[in-house]
Structures are given as structure tokens and as C-alpha cells.
Amino acid sequence: MIFQTTFSPEKVAVLVDDMEYNIWEQKVLKTFLEGDQIKAIPTGYKKRLAVLKWLVNHFEEGAKYTEKEVDEVIKRHHPDYCSLRREFIANGLMEREDGVYWRIAWQMPDLKG
């Protein structure tokens, strides 16, 4: 059985934007990662967010972590675990309450402009 799907022009534009973002993101990761090590934390917001997204994927969505556990995971990839942990919270990639951290569902922000 063959299914035919028709996308609106708006949906096609979103899909193309997502594909272009993913290609760009892969280029950023090739620049700032060496294997599973972060060589440098990008200073630009968009590039830093790409690296943070890569790093936060090392945490299971919905699982709870102590601050020490978060630090240990981050340390495997970069020595500045304190800054990166704060960046997770500041960029809405993780939430924290009473010393417990958890990864949240992430939505791509509007990166145009």
C-alpha cells in the first residue's frame, strides 16, 4: 500500500530549516569536539547551544540526578563542569530543585537573525 503525504508550504519550510540547522550543528560539533571531548566552549550563543545540546544528550530525559552525578558526567567531556552545569539551567536544557537535576524536553529556539 502506498501512502501519499502532502505538506503545506509552511511545513516544508520548517522541515528545510530543521535540516539546514542539523547540517550547521554537525559542522559546529566537528569544530569543537575531539572524539567525546569538548576542545573549547564556544563563545557565540548559537555554537555554544549546539555543544550544550550534544552534552545534555548524555543524560536520560526524565531521570533525576544529584549535582555530583551531573558534574561527573560533564567532567568526562570537559573540566569546566560548573560553567556547563549552569549553562544547562540557563538555556532550559535541565531544571534544578533542592539539589536535584533533570533533563527536560528541548525545543529548538528561533536561531534566525
* Cα angle 86, 36, 66; round to 5: 40
CA atoms within 13 A on the CB side of 74: 22
The kind and range of the H/E element at 25 are helix 9-32
**Which pLDDT value is given to residue 15?**
43
Task: Find the mean pLDDT for residues 59-68.
Answer: 95
pLDDT > 90 fraction of the chain, expressed in percent and rounded: 67
**Which pLDDT value is given to residue 100?**
98
For the chain, the domains span 9-103
**Which pLDDT value is given to residue 54?**
94
Task: Find the mean pLDDT for residues 67-92.
Answer: 97
Long-range Cβ contacts of 22-29 (<8 Å, 24+ apart)? 24/50, 25/50, 25/53, 29/54
Band the pLDDT of 62: cuts 50, 70, 90: confident
Check residues 62 and 60 and name the one with the higher pLDDT.
60
Check: CB of residue 87 under 8 Å from CB of residue 38.
no
